[in-house]
Amino acid sequence: MASTPTRRTILSGLAALAGTVSVPTAAIPAARASKRPPVGQRGFVSHAVEAEIARVSARIGDAELRWLFANCYPNTLDTTVKMGMHDGHADAFVITGDIPCLWLRDSAAQVHGYLPLARGDALLRTLFRGLIGRHARCILIDPYANAFTRDAEAATPLSWAKADMTTMKPGVAERKWEVDSLCHVVRLAYGYWRATGDRMPFDAQWGEAARTIVATFRAQQRKDGSGPYRFQRAAESATDTLILDGHGAPTRKVGLIHSMFRPSDDACVYPFLVPANLFAVAALRWLAALAHETRGDAALATDASGLADEVATALRAHGRIGEGADAVWAYEVDGYGNTLFMDDANAPSLSSLAVLGCVPRNDALFRRTEARCWSAANPYFFRGKAGEGIGGPHVGLGMIWPMSLIVRAMGSDDDATIRRCLDVLKATHAGTGFMHEAFGADDPSAYTRPWFAWANSFFGELIVDLVRRKPGLLL
């Protein structure tokens, strides 16, 4: 494994790449000119990613899908990565797109699709090392925060968060406690380790952050009181604040982890968010493997594994609706027997459990749950002139999130299902060449967030996945 690049080699390497790499455009009609920024204006350039664009594009017969892929797959690198140095090591700050802050969840998911290429690209490994290190430092600032500023001493630049009634520390952009924020961090770190075998990011600072993750999950089981986290906001929307002095709805303490907000940044109705707890079980087991394999930390591995087993047991007892062959996962529960069934487009969702690695693809309980999510039983399943898909309360009724269609296609082995998802994704980008946060079920031109890098990169990840699994669907 190559040694850690210096600031000089990082910057000179990026400059050299910028001068030598271009997107293959020969197969793209003039009417579908590339929507990427000029090479010299791209935030990060990877030889491996550019080669992957060429390889995959050559296997896509559908001209519009090929154009969308070439625009979307590199969007995170092109537009959201800011490289630097911290204490002699590479630092990577990855913004979410049209909001200039780093979300733990988004940044981890935005680069996930590049993991298979990291072993063969030294600069791409530098990006991953820098982001894993940045994540660790963010967690050590505040494990309850979901978003951070680039300057660890800065106050939040987000107007809506400035007056939040919670403990806002320097470096924190928003402090909505979401279990999945820490899970996505672990998923990326574990994926990087599996892809490269590189131990470099897993230093003492990372070990401290990993112990903080486990401790935070344990604190949010709230077995001994309400815990250290509270949050309130003076807002028009009820989904932006928490009831009961900022602690959320009452729960019976059954071993599940309280997640006060969903991955949409919307407040939970019942604080035991089931897909987030399932994600936490998987993340804790990944963390245990990392602790053992990269650091030889048996105590941390044992602690993480023990908590994973405890939460898994509680999920089996309290996280389902129905019994036996009719059971499905609930979306949220409170431990008293009250349940909420719905699904939200943001991952972790119930529909995304297999894609995220929380359950096997052929798991019968998951498949029953997924089928119910994609039906009228889910109040946030929408069908309109433009197609069908899942949204959520975040941007209102009748708004379908492309992310839900990407999850559906990536998690399916049925050609007809995948083809329907691709057809809707092709027909609803409103001529922009990019994915969006959401679009109107009857009017794709009514969309939110024109620059949403997670959705773009995730679409690219889907196309790479289909080239491997279902190449005939792209012809």
CA-nearest of 461, 456, 438 to 448 is: 438
For residue range 160-199, list pLDDT tens digits in order. 999 999 999 999 999 999 999 999 999 999 999 999 999 9
The answer to whether residue 28 scores a pLDDT higher than 60 is no
Residue 32 banded pLDDT, cuts 50, 70, 90? confident
For residue range 97-110, list pLDDT tens digits in order. 999 999 999 999 99
For residue range 267-285, list pLDDT tens digits in order. 999 999 999 999 999 999 9
Reported pTM: 0.94
Rounded to an integer, the average pLDDT of 16-35 is 51
Q: Which residue has the tokens 């850690």?
A: 4
For residue range 285-342, list pLDDT tens digits in order. 999 999 999 999 999 999 999 999 999 999 999 999 999 999 999 999 999 999 999 9
The answer to whether residue 30 scores a pLDDT higher than 80 is no
The answer to whether residue 67 scores a pLDDT higher than 90 is yes
The answer to whether residue 94 scores a pLDDT higher than 50 is yes
Report angle CA 316, 317, 322 to the nearest 5 degrees.
85
The pLDDT of residue 1: 33
For residue range 36-47, list pLDDT tens digits in order. 999 999 999 999
Residue 31 banded pLDDT, cuts 50, 70, 90? low
Share of the chain above pLDDT 70, in %: 93
Give dist(CA 294, CA 289) in Å, integer: 8
Give dist(CA 181, CA 435) in Å, integer: 22
Q: Which residue has the tokens 């530098």?
A: 126
The pLDDT of residue 292: 98
The answer to whether residue 22 scores a pLDDT higher than 60 is no
Rounded to an integer, the average pLDDT of 132-144 is 98
Rounded to an integer, the average pLDDT of 233-239 is 95
Q: Are 294 and 207 in contact (CB under 8 A)?
A: no
CA-nearest of 393, 354, 352 to 265 is: 393
Rounded to an integer, the average pLDDT of 441-447 is 97
The answer to whether residue 77 scores a pLDDT higher than 80 is yes
Question: 47-57 and 453-469 are packed helices; what angle lies between their axes, rounded to 10 degrees?
Answer: 60
The answer to whether residue 224 scores a pLDDT higher than 80 is yes
The pLDDT of residue 2: 34
Higher pLDDT, 25 or 138: 138
The answer to whether residue 148 scores a pLDDT higher than 50 is yes
The answer to whether residue 239 scores a pLDDT higher than 50 is yes
The pLDDT of residue 7: 33
The answer to whether residue 472 scores a pLDDT higher than 50 is yes
Give the bridge partners for 93, in sequence order.
82
The answer to whether residue 133 scores a pLDDT higher than 80 is yes
The answer to whether residue 228 scores a pLDDT higher than 90 is yes
The pLDDT of residue 229: 98
The answer to whether residue 474 scores a pLDDT higher than 90 is yes
Strand pairing report for 147-148 and 172-174 = antiparallel
- At 190, the amino acid letter reads Y
